[in-house]
Amino acid sequence: MALSLLTPMFKVERDEELCIQCKVCMRQCVNGVHWYDEEEDRMRCDHKKCVGCHRCVVLCPTGALTVKKYPLEFRENAHWTLDYIRSIYLQAETGGILLTGMGNDRPYPVYWDHMVLNASQVTNPSIDPLREPMELKTYLGRKPKAVEIKNGKLAEKLPPQLELDVPIMFSAMSFGSISLNAVKSLAQAARETGTFFNTGEGGLHRDLYEYGANTIVQVASGRFGVDPDYLKAGAGIEIKIGQGAKPGIGGHLPGEKVGPEVSATRMIPLGSDAISPAPHHDIYSIEDLRQLIFSLKEATNYEKPVGVKIAAVHNVAAIASGIARAGADFVAIDGFRGGTGAAPLRTRDNVGIPIEFALAAVDERLRREGIRNEVSIVVGGSIRNSADVVKAIALGADAVYIGTAALIALGCHLCQKCNTGKCNWGIATQDPYLVKRLNPEIGARRAANLIRAWAHEIKELLGGMGINAIESLRGNRLMLRGIGLNEKELSILGIKAAGE
Amino acid sequence: MKKVYVREEYCIGCHLCEVYCVMAHSRYPHDLLKAFKKGDPLPLPRLWVEEKGPLTFAFQCRHCEEPHCVSACITGALQKDTTTGVVTCEQERCVGCWTCVLACTYGAIRRDTKNGKMVKCDLCSNWGEPPACVYYCPNEALIFVERGE
């Protein structure tokens, strides 16, 4: 066998003084990094197999393990970095497309970090959220241009809305791309915190129908798992056109992940590849999209909001405007940092635009066209903390989707190996040995804690600005100032520079 | 009485329950490192993980209402505590006849052949509550609850 030129990515260091040979590392590593050398009575390891997921480090009861970047330096070269050299070795060995998981990890600018928030001083009082009521309630859906009130009541019924206690939802992650225990964790957390999780294109497992009131069911290009019960089970429906991590391409769940449960939930034969085409083959225009939106509304008796999810790409504002005019109740935009269970590496890292620009452009365009009220905006694909949420809302979002952040709460360590199905944390896998590692009771507790913690922080930030309802921040770009941005960037974001 | 139960759907087969059981019954019951590095000879774990394919679960003494091991014990070393319900073994009186091993319908008693004594779960009566295996189970697969059987 010809020698592989790939050198290890990580080095596992074991402090022999601390190692008690309990073999927990060996049992926990699905990649087979650790093994016990009986003759030497010590644990040994194969650095080459380590993916840097930290499972062994976290589980080691004596803290004997650390994982470091493999200390091998190429001759310094600003152009040919380690990643590009390794990619070529790998492709020279396999002849295949490079696949990866999670979101774009390249050092593009993070515009959230170039925006700062305002606070009240002297002339307008700030508010203490511990002493005064603070409102985060958010409604997603089409709002009328004006409301008519008769006898103290609304004269006309409002179009269907999704009611969120916090403006944060769990983004679409299918059962198949992630484990049932991971979906259960998010579903339970969504119920506890008054928000929604999204089925992705994985269908709704029978155990999850009880969470229907907190579910957004997705209809994507493969139409997996879609039937009348499914559409009626959710509180809202989302048509998925694109995903931030892989705009313009479809999905592929390999047959080995399609076990009995995934097969039944997706309504496809056991062990068959689940291939979602790149486009919806019945949507080639905004008119076609309108037809699907209204087919779904018709099928659900016009009782549920129907949204459309797109990836943030160059003409996103015009596309979003078309989506609003096609009758969507909300438009979800996924930025180029958005995660994935599997995507071609070059697509993930090079296609799409930052969500901050996409959001600002869409909000601005819809306002200018006088149709902002007709559609709610949900953004995802890069939200890392509560400040990002607040900045997104100030830029014009109604709510945000969190995917990567939610998985990190469940234990994900961002090793980007979701596509291999060997997730040591029991999240992005269907392997019966591994899925048990995520106890949904713990997962739900952790995900709900994250939402609660962010809700507290959002209230603090709002209070500091002298605002007592998230509604008053929405699209309030005066609360933002740019740092280190050029004129063009400031004008696209629609914000002033710090000091202005 | 409160007992240790395993939820096998969440047992990840890491064997940390065994590791901490050893610690709790060693000369250094609260120092894992010293227990393993200086505790020689190490005590046997009082519970162990059964594995078959992806199915794994930790298993130990059920502290039966009418324990066969207690009635079978030829020296009276095994007793069921009338207040706590814990089935315990008075080590000094155990002669290593293994009658209890034969009598236990669950196979929950182990032979410490080095010392010629039986060992079994004592629900960490001298360690604290919940027992060490439950306290340190990383996935909350082991729980210490009253189920009123």
CATH code for B66-120?
3.30.70.20
Tell me the mean pLDDT per 10 residues along chain A, length 500: 94 97 97 97 96 98 97 94 96 96 96 97 92 96 93 92 98 97 98 98 96 98 96 98 95 92 96 94 96 98 98 98 98 97 96 98 98 98 97 98 98 97 97 97 98 98 96 97 98 98
What is chain A's Cα-based Rg?
A: 24
- How do the domains of chain A map onto residue ranges? 10-96, 138-497
Q: Is the pLDDT of residue B148 over 90?
A: no
Do A439 and B139 count as a contact with CB atoms less than 8 A apart? yes
**Which residues on A lie below 8 Å from B141 (Cβ)?**
439
Instruction: Cite the beta strand spans of A110-235 per DSSP E.
Output: 115-117, 138-140, 149-150, 153-154, 162-164, 168-170, 197-198, 215-219
Which residue of chain B has the CA closest to A16? B37
Quick one: tokens of A149? 């009130």
CATH match of A10-96 with 3.30.70.20: yes
pLDDT tens figures, B120-136 = 999 999 999 999 999 99
- How do the domains of chain B map onto residue ranges? 1-60+125-149, 66-120
Q: How far is B141 from chain A, CA to nearest CA, in Å?
A: 8
Q: How far is A403 from chain B, CA to nearest CA, in Å?
A: 22
CATH code for A138-497?
3.20.20.70
Which residue of chain B has the CA closest to A18? B33
Q: Is the pLDDT of residue B149 over 70?
A: no
Q: How far is B79 from chain A, CA to nearest CA, in Å?
A: 32
Do B16 and A436 count as a contact with CB atoms less than 8 A apart? no
Q: Which of B6, B7, B12, B36 to mutate to test the interface with A (most CBs of A within 10 A)?
A: B12
The three-state secondary structure class of A49 is helix
Residue with tokens 């010293």: B34
**Which residues on B lie below 8 Å from A442 (Cβ)?**
139-140
Of residues B9, B37, B54, nearest to A433 (C-beta): B54
- Which string of DSSP letters, residue by residue, matches A53-83? --HHHHH-TT--EEEEE---PPPP-SSS-HH
ipTM of this model?
0.94
The three-state secondary structure class of A99 is strand
| A455 φ/ψ angles, rounded to the nearest 5 degrees | -60, -40
Chain B residues within 8 A (CB-CB) of chain A?
9-16, 19-20, 32-33, 36-37, 53-54, 56, 136, 138-141
Torsion angle defined by CA atoms of residues A348, A354, A358 and A361, in that order, rounded to the nearest 10 degrees: -150
Average pLDDT score, chain B? 95
Of residues A59, A426, A441, nearest to B14 (C-beta): A59
Q: What is the DSSP letter of A324?
A: H
* A10-96 matches A138-497 in fold: no
**Which residues on A lie below 8 Å from B136 (Cβ)?**
61
